[in-house]
A and B are shown apart, each in its own frame.
Chain A
Amino acid sequence: MSQPRGIFRVLGRGYVGLVLFFLYAPILVMALMSFNASEFYAFPLSFTLDWYRRLWGNADIVASAWRSLWIAVATTAIATVLGTAAALALFRYEFRGKRLLQSLLFPPIAIPWLIIGTSMLIFFFWVGIGRGTPAVILGHVALALPYVIVVVAARLQTFDPQLEEAARSLGAGQWVVTRDVTLPWIASGVVAGALFAFAVSFDQFVVSYFLAQPGDATLPVVIYTAIRKGFTPEINAISTIIIAVSMAVMLAASRFFKFGGER
């Protein structure tokens, strides 16, 4: 790749700097303030872990954090298994209606979560599931599935179908072929898809807000409720933790899945 020169190089670097600034400045300010003793964001910053301590004492937040975590883990497990199976079916095998199913896969990503949340609420009441944790998990799985399928499918595109044929010619049945040949090849895609599913569930607000019962809300919903009552630096603290977790997950995902193709 060639390097841009002179003024373009300076402009290019400045532009990248600006993008990163707009993305990260608010987050950095928030993270800093979560360590600031002053409740009113006064400078100079005096370091404290008080807000984190208070956070730990807040039973509501701690309980909802654990709930969010296990809902995310459950969502990840279900969405990864279903999504991987769906990707294998959609991109490795031929069947009637395949094209239609493939094209129906992506629109849900573009539908606003508010509308998905509303429609899920109506639907779950209509079929008798109602609100509650099962509804939340079902909703999260539905949201996460397209992401898992897309990521696993991208990895499958590089899979040589002759590998499966070779395994079959050597006497391996369908299950052994999948376990010993196909899955090892797409493993990195499956892991990346799982991390996506985790992030989608753990960070989900709108759908959780509609589907969770008032008593057992997830962490983002509890934060939202707390902010409505009055903003405290505790919120900065828990937000900083969430951001740290989410970023760790996405950084891990990027190790397994190369965004924007192979480099």
Chain B
Amino acid sequence: MSRRGVPLNLIAGGAIVAVIVTAAIIGPIIAPYPYDEFHANARFQPPNPPYWFGTDEFGRDIFSRVLTGTRLSLFIGVLATAISLVLGIPLGLVAGYYRGRIDEMIMRTMDLFMSFPPIILGLLILAVTPPSIWKTSGAVGLVYVPIMVRLIRSVTLDLMEEEFILAARARGERTIYILASEILPNAWPPIIVEGSLRITFAILLGAALSFLGMGAQPPSSDWGLMISAARPYLLIAPWIALAPGLAMCIAVIGINLVGDGLREILDPRLRHRWRA
């Protein structure tokens, strides 16, 4: 499945992701219409030029809305994953390094949070405050912290067995140094693979929360929100719901492929490439 050493997954996925990221960055600029511009005389148009994906109940161009929505979905996905890493990496490192009581405490707390189904935990956090995209990203990030902590803890536990760690401790290096400069640099491969897959989960969870009304708010063109708003019109204008859904499908598949491809490259090297 490789061409010149680069997995096919990565090439195909990378192409898709490149398109998505480009859309996210320049989408609002190249969109033919502003995402919230009504065209009262062109409501419920089926996909046809000049409205490539058709129009919705207000006459807004779906193509432009999907394009501008790319930015939102990607934003939630990346920010949530970043939050889960920023919180999860230190906790995982500490739990794996110190073990004993501290490890117990951290893992018990993580177990507690994992006792909630993910959506429910997200709803719990968002239910009591007026919704916004930042809060949704934060909630999704928090939901995924326990998983990150588990992963990093287990990687740390593996690494603690290595001789160069023992050497560093014998040298009398400070803990922070060991964690940051010996363990962390060698922990990147699984973190990268897991992180990239986490982005897809974060996008899906964020879309679900927006669908339920706990994320982006109208007139924003977040994909989950668009699908939710399209529900009364499913039988007369299905494109309003199908377009954002398909966009989400493509984005998730693309990122998944990249994650799979990264795993293929990074996995064999996981065991053999230590920086001493």
Physical interaction between A and B? no
